[in-house]
Structure 1
Amino acid sequence: MAAGSGWSDSSLEDIRPYTITGGRTGSKHPLHLTTCLITRPAAPGTAHPSPEGEALLLHCSGAPVSVAELAARTHQPVQVVKVLIGDLLDCDALARANPYGAAADPDVHLLEAVIHGLRARL
């Protein structure tokens, strides 16, 4: 390979999205931009993720991180990040920090109690 061809100094950000996902465009896991994820302890014999998957795991260690924030931090399209997250969820390397997501039904009794408390203070 000739010097200056660009291959030797390329970064993960230069790889085409369809190459990162193996041509896949979706995940079987319903993920929203606000879905938060956190790493799980590695089980013995767990498959090693791709370099892109490793980057996601590093960003999710310590505190929950949203899908949107992961896409921004890794400089990857959201759909690519969703596919990679699906792979990490499949091998139990990641867990949802808000398992019910944004679509969960709110606790009506709790909301009514908050409203009554606020009205009482006025």
Structure 2
Amino acid sequence: MSAEAIPLHPAEQTGFVRPYAITGGRTKPNHHLELETLVSTRQAALLAVPDQIEHQLIMEECRTPHSVAEIAAMLRVPFGVARVLVSDAADAGLVNVHRTISGDEGAEAHLLLMERVLSGLRRL
């Protein structure tokens, strides 16, 4: 039988993998990650070579701290997928997830952040 007789699956034709297939369908991260949560590669993990290519890319990108939103854009995946990938990388000890201010403890800090963002947008 020739190769033309067996139709290829659409993913095989384009090389495209559905974003949530990367996470095995999981949508809930183990860490609380917001858009602005900063992630950096752990120095101890620099010699590690993770099995998952996305974890390798996250480690390479986060040699300098980047937000989860930036990681999602770099990987070209939805934010929810990036959250799961970053959470998995953190669980594997590959990256540090830096604490963000949330809830009542940071209401004033959130307001200051929003004012700085608004000011920056106005300058554009």
Q: 1:74 — aligned with what?
A: 75
- What amino acid sits opposite 1:7 in the alignment? E
Write the mapping of 1:1-122 to structure 2, written as runs, cut at 5 A.
7=12, 10=15, 14-42=16-44, 48-61=50-63, 63-96=64-97, 98-99=98-99, 101-103=100-102, 105=105
Whole-Å Cα distance in 2 between the matches of residues 51 and 42 of structure 1? 19
Whole-Å Cα distance in 2 between the matches of residues 54 and 24 of structure 1? 19
Question: In the TM superposition, what is the alpha-carbon distance from 1:22 to its structure 2 partner?
Answer: 0.7
Question: In the TM superposition, what is the alpha-carbon distance from 1:18 to its structure 2 partner?
Answer: 2.1
From the superposition, tell whether residues 56 and 47 of structure 1 become closer, same or farther in structure 2 (CA, over 3 Å).
closer
Whole-Å Cα distance in 2 between the matches of residues 94 and 8 of structure 1? 34
| Same amino acid, percent of matched pairs | 33
Question: In the TM superposition, what is the alpha-carbon distance from 1:17 to its structure 2 partner?
Answer: 1.5
Q: Secondary structure at the match of 1:48?
A: coil
Whole-Å Cα distance in 2 between the matches of residues 8 and 55 of structure 1? 24
Question: In the TM superposition, what is the alpha-carbon distance from 1:9 to its structure 2 partner?
Answer: 6.6
- CA deviation digits over 1:5-44, x for unaligned, max 9? 673773xxx211121001111112100000000000245x
Whole-Å Cα distance in 1 between the matches of residues 40 and 13 of structure 2? 33
CA RMSD of aligned residues (A): 2.8
Structure with max Cα Rg: 1
Normalised to the residue count of structure 2, the TM-score between the two structures is 0.67
Normalised to the residue count of structure 1, the TM-score between the two structures is 0.68
Whole-Å Cα distance in 1 between the matches of residues 50 and 25 of structure 2? 20
Whole-Å Cα distance in 2 between the matches of residues 48 and 42 of structure 1? 13
Q: Which runs of 5+ in 2 are unaligned?
A: 109-124
- What amino acid sits opposite 1:55 in the alignment? L
From the superposition, tell whether residues 9 and 32 of structure 1 become closer, same or farther in structure 2 (CA, over 3 Å).
same
Structure with a larger share of its residues in helix: 2
